[in-house]
Structures are given as structure tokens and as C-alpha cells.
Amino acid sequence: MSKDQAVEDSANMGKLQISNAIFTGGFNTVTRMHLIKLDTNNGGGLCSDCEQSYTHVSDDEAEDQALSLLSMADDFETKDSNGFGSEVKNNDVKHQPNFGEKTRRSLTSKLPVSPTILIPYRLLTIVRTLLLGFYLTWIVTHPNDESMWLWRIFNTCELWLALSWLLEQLPRLCLINRSTDVSALKDRFESPNLQNPKGRSDLPGIDVFVTTADPEKEPLLVTANTILSILAVDYPVEKLACYLSDDAGSLLTFEALSDTANFARIWVPFCRKHEIEPRSPEAYFKQKHDFLKNKVRLDFAGDRSRVKREYDEWKVRINSLPETIKRRSGAYNSTKELQTKMNPSEMGEVSLNEIKIPKATWMSDGSYWPGTWEDPGENDHSRGDHVGIIQVILASSDAKPVYGSNKNGKNLIDTTNVDIRLPMLVYMSREKRPGYCHNKKAGAMNALLRTSAIMSNGLFILNLDCDHYIYNSLALREGMCFMLDKGGDRVCYVQFPQRYDGIDPDDLYANHNTLFLNVNMRALDGIQGPYYIGTCCIFRRIALYGFSPARVTEHHGLFGTKKTKLLRRKLTVSKKEDDEMGTQINGYTLDCDDADDADTGSLPLPKRFGNSTSLASSITVVEFQGTLLQEFDSKDNRGRMTNSLTAPQEQPLDVATIAKAISAISCVYEDNTEWGKRVGWIYGSLTEDVVTGYKMHNRGWRSVYCITKHDAFRGTAPINLTDRLHQVLQWATGSIELFFSRNNSLFATRRMKFLQKLNYFNILLYPFASFFILVYCFLPAISLFSRQFVVQSFVTLLTFNLVDSITLYLLVIIEIKWSGMTIANWWREKQVCVIWATSSFPVAVLQGLVKFITGVDISHTLTPKLATLKDGDDEFADLYVVKWSFMMIPPITIMLVNTIAIAVGIARALYSPHPEWSKLVGGVSYSFWVLCHFHPFAKGLMGRRSRALNLFYVWSGLVSIIVLLMGIYITSDSRAQNHMKFQFP
């Protein structure tokens, strides 16, 4: 038998073997029992060490003995740190055990980048920094006396751009690679052992949050596919709960979720039976590769065709829901109106013509929908004015698997050996009333946080947008490897990269964000961790509650931590009797060591978390369960505690529990509490994700960036130019808001590393570069028009630029080798950075300044999600749609001005008797370089080639007309002047 095996239950053979049973004491001490063989058929056996016989033991007694062996571990003491030389205290145990050391497989690995990459990368960074220093020194010390104003503007722009590069580059010096071992996770938490002979999962609970706000901009099919991918994920069913927050309070979303749960009873067993990937039906059935590849079950093709047919019918039902609800409501409203008119006692003195029956929205059971009505006739049912709603669509499951049955009239596929349980599924729509600030997505996430604490209280939380589905069914397990490994108690969240479907092959507007996701975020993983980017993130619940981590760093070097100081989080609990409610917890005190929380760290629980006693009782459970096994005191915890990472078994959800949850999502619950300030998702910014992650890093937590071999999650991105401009505008505006707030990293605590502060400061500062880039884009044209250049020596400037470019491209080559991006990705992102800096960023800066000065809130525009396409539709049809936006004016103006400047400069040089070729080449080359950066923008404006002239053609035609009408003739006047003149006829 293997040394790592604890128990093997062989019912058919009539034997129970316990081989080399392992007891874990503390973190690194182990004790090993000698080989015991219990043979129920022969009535005895021999010990492999002393060769003495054992008495007969039945199967039930053997299992009881295996469970009781855990208590025996407390009778062993280790005499040294390696676990050797221990002795037995219990006199009832006859045989002296053997002792040995067990090597525990690490769940994750953190490897530094190869020296062949890291050392040259750092050296090139130093070289380019020195080159920039020499270059800036040269341009500052060599003024251009012919055009001092142009030289000063150029110097200012160069200094700012050099500073921006330095702020972005320095945090990239700590490159690392991470990997996970999912099989080790299974061995540690789901394999049979002495305290868990049946090998039931001991993984912690995970609550999945999905948010949606508008069923029109966020199509129901997109949201439903996300829910199905969650329900079918490879994770213990009893440990998983899915919550959908519907900020619109729409009956469409509710009934779509109910129908999704019904289809999940077919889809989830099919995925488990045939190991389907990905587990979003829309993504799976759209795959173009051979779906029969690597499939060995003979019934796969038949099962797939039946499920596909059922999915197509389900899609029709979802798509027809708006019309179905409309017809149903119309019929109910007509019946209600007729009943009222036929009952004179209810009419009173009102005439028949004056009777007005509100056009309510009706549920399928014939009752009023408590959320938003399509035609709101009552104040309690309008958009932004409705009660809170919680509905358990699927109840939580027991730990014991439930297997299906053979294929028959009710079952589409044979599920006799397939677990057909489904995770818990809950619909939630928080209460909304006029006059209250509901804080957009952050408010919805905090409502989900409180609801889930009362109903399931998962130790970890997965946050997904409604259009981001689980692409890799092992994604949750990969995230748990970081959370449950050694030192994982200091990890507040595991951020996965955002990957997208439906992006055009050229990625015209850099929707993949490869440079940011594959380089910047991975580099931050080597410091204190990546930002939180709003979705595809697994949180530790205790970190969201505002707790400090178990350890925070005390001293920091430029490239990492030099010394660590232990700071355990403390939770003081006081109880008192209440005549009406009995015993309740009402006196929690959180000793928060964060300077930002110093004024509220000792507040009682109601002042910090609200008055919900159910929420209060859940916090103590989460705080204790958040402690890793390795952190238990080795003297008091010799062996592994049964279900030590899982919360106590929750009672079945009843009406009282749901009522408590509804009270926690009321409009007034957060009043006079710390929700949105230091607890939960932070309010006050359009980018609540960045500031929420910043708060955690500021308390000393660290985060982890998890790039899986196969994409963990995938979503949709706006491929239309206008929608992309508005998306970037929202991000940039959020950065400006944070720059003018207390969450500026300049005010960060000592717990945040220096390079981490630098990177946070960079993401707050980058929108301000828009004004310098705008000026920079006009400088070449101004030089051509004025016949003056920014510096005196064009050759020296060109030499500096060539050497600097070579150094920069060498850095890019190393980044490509390390991160996996391509030259095309890098160049496209550099292009769109210039486009955004001349369109969205200036507007963002102005909006942020207006909010800072006047206090006027900035409106949030919901990014529309791509709907499911029908067969034959153009997948990239939206890419070619030209939607006008005022943000397009600056880029168009830049392209026009530089095009005219090139034409004028060339014409002037051709007809001049003494052309200044150096100034012409300098101005033309830099103008052409500017135009190269706007190629994606111009291509987006052109749209389909087969369409008629659009806005770009009109502007291009105007430029051509101006150039053609420009009459250039030469007049020579040797006595007055000796150079060429330009005159218009």
C-alpha cells in the first residue's frame, strides 16, 4: 500500500485496510501508525512490525475504529522537529509505532523568472532610464533660440512622458511565474483519511455573485449561460451557492432564472457525465472543432443531440419571455378590470368610465410581481422604487451524492452513475426608493454580501459579471490552491485575467488588453498583488469585512519584503440577554491595526456592520474558519480537525431566515454604518473595484494573479468604437475621482509596498497625460506650418530616438517572451493608448475636476453586452457601425491637421529655392508617425467598404479640396526678398 493512503473501503472484498495512517500535528510534525490489517473473512491478521495476530473486527467496528484513531493522535508527542523519536503515552496501545516524516505537496509554486530574462530586462530598464536622463539633459541644455516657445512646449511634453514611462516600468522589475497543483488539492482535502474514511470533500464553501442591471442591455441568454456554467462547475455541490442580483427588479430576469434552473437539471448531469468543456451551453455548442474528439462513451453522440435539441427549445422560451409576460399581464389586467366593473360595491360613486385599473405585471401563479412593472401605475413598482425580493430557486444540497436513473420518458439521458444534485441558486433584488443613493454596482455587491452571509455564509466569494461565464470548470479549484496553501491566509483575493469571446481577429481597439493583463498585472504579482478589476475574482470574505490579515509586512525593500511582523486579528465578543430575542451578539470589537480604520476600529458591531444579529453571528464563524490548518496551535491540535475549513451545517432555509436576509437589503440598513466606507465594496467612485482592492492592500493584505493553462473565465467586450470610447471614459473618470480622494496612494500606509504605491499612483495619474499627448500630436504639424523645428539639431534628436527605440524594443521582446503576447498586440495597444488619450481621457479629466469642485455626481453608462447571435448573422456586425460621439472630434482634427501639414510642407519644399530638408524630414516623419497611431480609429470610421461615403470620407474629401484649391505660384522680387511666397488666387 502507498504511504499516503489512509483508508480504503472495500465492501465487495469484505476487507478494510488502514495503511500507514498519517496524523498531522501542527504544520510540520507528523506521526505514522504501523500497518494494521483487519481481515473480516479470516478473523485475524499479522502485524508487519511485530508479527503478532489481531482479533476479528467487523466492518462497522473497523470504520468506528478508523474514526477514533484521530483522538489517539493526541497521545503521541514528538521529541524533535522532524517527527522522529516519538513515544506512545497511551498504555492501551500494545504495539510501538513507526515514525517518519511526510512530505506535503505544495498546492502552488512561485518561481522567479529565468535569469536569462530577468537580468537583461532589469539591465535594459536601467540603460533606458540613463538614456532618458541624458536625452532630457541634452534638450534642456540646448535651447532652440529660433523658436523658444516651441522648444519649451516640447520639453514639457518629453519630461511628462518620460516620468509616465518610469512610473509604469519600475513595478515591472519583479517578474515571477506561478502555477497550481489541482491534484494536490484533491489529495489534501478530498481523499480518504482516518477522520474521513469515505473521502468526502473538506473544501471550503464558495458563494458566487452575479450582477445584472438591465435585461435589455444585458440580454437574458447571456446571463442565463453564465448561471448554467456556475451550476455545472467542478466543485462540491453542497459547498457552492449562486446568487443573482437584479438591480432592475425585472420579472423577465426572475422567470428566465427559474427556467434556467429547470434546464440545468438536464445540462449539469450531461456535463458531469461526459466531462464537457466549456460548461456554458452557448459557448460549447458554438465550438467549431470536432466535438467527438477524445469521447469514448458510446452514448455521447445521442446524449449531445438530445441536449442540443432541448437547449434550442429553451432558447426559444427565453427569447419569447417578454412577449409571454406581456400577454399574460394583459389578460390578467383585463380580467381584473372586468371583475371590478361587475362589482358595484367596489365602485362607489365612481362612474364606469372613470375607473382606472393599474396595469400590473403578473407572475405565472396569478399574483402581482413585487418588483418593477413594465407599465408602473403604482409608485411601489417603478424603476428605482420597489421592495426587496429574495427567492430561493434551488435549495442547498446535502453532502451525500444523489444519482439519477435510466433514460425514460422523463430523463433525456442515462444518469445512473451521475450525481444529479444542483448547487443552491438564489434570486435577489434589493429594495430601492427615491431619495436614496443606491451606489450602483458596489451597493448591489454589498447587498449580496449580507444576504449570502445569512443564507449560506461561504468562506470565499467569486464575483462575476453577468456576461463572464466559467470557461474552465476547474477554475474555482485553481483559485483555492492559492487560498489554502501555506501563507494563503494573507491572500485577500485571487484575480483571474479577463478573456473575451467575439473579438474581431485584428482586435482593432485592443479589447484583449494584452499588455495590461499579461504584463502589468503579472508584474504586480511579484510585489503585493494585482489590482481588483471588477470581475473574475475570488475573495476571502473576512477581508471584505475590513479585517487586517494574519501577517502584515513591516520592512520593505525595493524588490520585496525583508522582514515580517506577526499581527493576529482579534475579535472580542460580548453577549447579553434580550427579553424578546434571547441571547444575541451585539458587542463585537474589531481591533483594526490599519491607520485608516483607527477611528472606527473599536466601534460596536451595529455601528460597523448594521443591526442584523444573523449577520453578526456569521462573522465569528467566518473569522475562525478563515484560519488555515497550518496556523492551529500544534500543541492543542495534533491531528486534522474534521471539517475544519467548512462552516457548521446550515439549517434548511425557512421563511424566518429569508426575512432576516430581506431586512439586510433594505434602503436604510447601511445608514450610520461602515458599509461602503471600510466594509465591503467601497463607494464613491465609478471604479469601485480598484478602490476596494486598494483598501485591502492598504491594510497589509496581498493578492494573487492566477493565469491558468486554459482560460478560467470568458466574457464579452464592446467591439464598437463608440461603446469602447465610453468604456474607457468610465475607467479614466474613476481614476480621476480616486486621485482627488483620500484613496490616493500618496496617503497609503506603511503596509503597502513602495512599488505597489507607485503603481497605484500611476493608474490614478495616467488620464492627465492626455493634455501632453494632445499637444504632442499637434507639434509636428505646428513645426511644418511655422517652418521651425522643436530643436536645433535634428540629427542629434534622431540619433537619440533611434537608440532609445532599440532599447525599448529589446524590452518589448523580453516581455513578449515572458508574457506570451505578440508584437501585434503590443503595437495595437500603443496605438489605442494614443487614441484614448486624445478622446476619452480629456473628457474624463474635465468630469473629474467638475465633480471635485462642484460635488456633482457623474452619471454611469452601462456598457451594452452582445446578444446571442442567430445562425447566419455576422459575428462582427457591430464593429462596422459608426455611432457619432463628441469624443471623436479631437482625433479627427489631429488627423486632418497633420495631413494638411504634410501636404503644405512638401509643397513648400518643392517650390522653394532654398528648402530646409532637415526640418521638412523631421516634421513630416513625426507627423506621419502620429498618423500611424490613429490607423485603428480611421479604419473604424470607414466602416464597411461597400457602404456609401461616411463621415471619414467627407472629412477626407474636404482635405483634398483644400489642397487642390491651394494655388501656389512663385513671384521673385530680388530687391525685396530672396525666398518663395505662397499666395491664394
Q: Which residues pair with 559 in a beta bridge?
A: none
Q: How far is the C-alpha of 761 from the C-alpha of 741, rounded, in Å?
A: 12
Q: How far is the C-alpha of 888 from the C-alpha of 431, rounded, in Å?
A: 39
Find out whether 532 and 695 touch, Cβ atoms under 8 Å: no
All 3 cell numbers of residue 276? 464537457
Going edge to edge, which strands form the sheet with 36-39? 8-10, 15-18, 36-39
Compute the chain's Rg from CA coordinates: 33
Examine the residue annotation and report whether 689 is marked as an active-site residue of this protein.
yes
Amino acid (1-letter code) at residue 684? G
| Dihedral pair phi/psi, residue 90, rounded to 5° | -75, 115
DSSP 518: I
Catalytic residue among 689, 711, 723, 878: 689
Is 217 assigned to a binding site?
yes
If we measure between CA atoms, which residue out of 370, 369, 368, 375 comes closest to residue 387? 370
Q: How far is the C-alpha of 125 from the C-alpha of 171, rounded, in Å?
A: 11
Amino acid (1-letter code) at residue 156? T
DSSP string, 148-202: HHHHHHHHHHHHHHHHHHHHHHGGGG--EEEEE-HHHHHHHHSS-BTTBTT----
CB contact set of 371 (below 8 Å; sequence gap of 6+): 246, 248, 249, 250, 251, 254, 361, 381, 386, 387, 389, 429
DSSP string, 666-700: STTTTTTS-BTTTBSSPPSSS-HHHHHHHHHHHTT
Find out whether 493 and 703 touch, Cβ atoms under 8 Å: yes
All 3 cell numbers of residue 846? 474635465
Find out whether 23 and 194 touch, Cβ atoms under 8 Å: yes
3-state secondary structure of 43: coil
Is 467 assigned to a binding site?
no
Q: How far is CA 822 from the centre of its chain?
A: 24
Burial class (CB in 10 A: 0-12, 13-18, 19+), 249: buried
Phi-psi region of 536 (alpha: psi -120 to 50; beta: other; left: phi over 0): left
CB contact set of 177 (below 8 Å; sequence gap of 6+): 110, 111, 112, 113
Is 275 assigned to a binding site?
no
CB contact set of 693 (below 8 Å; sequence gap of 6+): 493, 531, 532, 703
Q: How far is CA 137 from the centre of its chain?
A: 43
Q: How many residues does the chain have?
A: 985
All 3 cell numbers of residue 524? 504586480
If we measure between CA atoms, which residue out of 619, 608, 249, 254 comes closest to residue 438? 249
Is 465 assigned to a binding site?
yes
CB contact set of 490 (below 8 Å; sequence gap of 6+): 549, 550, 551, 552, 700, 701, 702
DSSP 959: H
Q: How far is the C-alpha of 789 from the C-alpha of 791, rounded, in Å?
A: 6
Catalytic residue among 247, 525, 594, 723: 247
Q: How far is CA 395 from the centre of its chain?
A: 27
Residue in the block written with cell 473538506: 202
Q: How far is the C-alpha of 739 from the C-alpha of 747, rounded, in Å?
A: 11
CB contact set of 768 (below 8 Å; sequence gap of 6+): 845
* Bind-site residues: 217-218, 247, 440-441, 465
Binding residues for UDP-alpha-D-glucose: 217-218, 247, 440
For the annotated catalytic residues, the residue numbers are: 247, 689
Would you list which residues are annotated within the binding site for Mn(2+)?
A: 441, 465
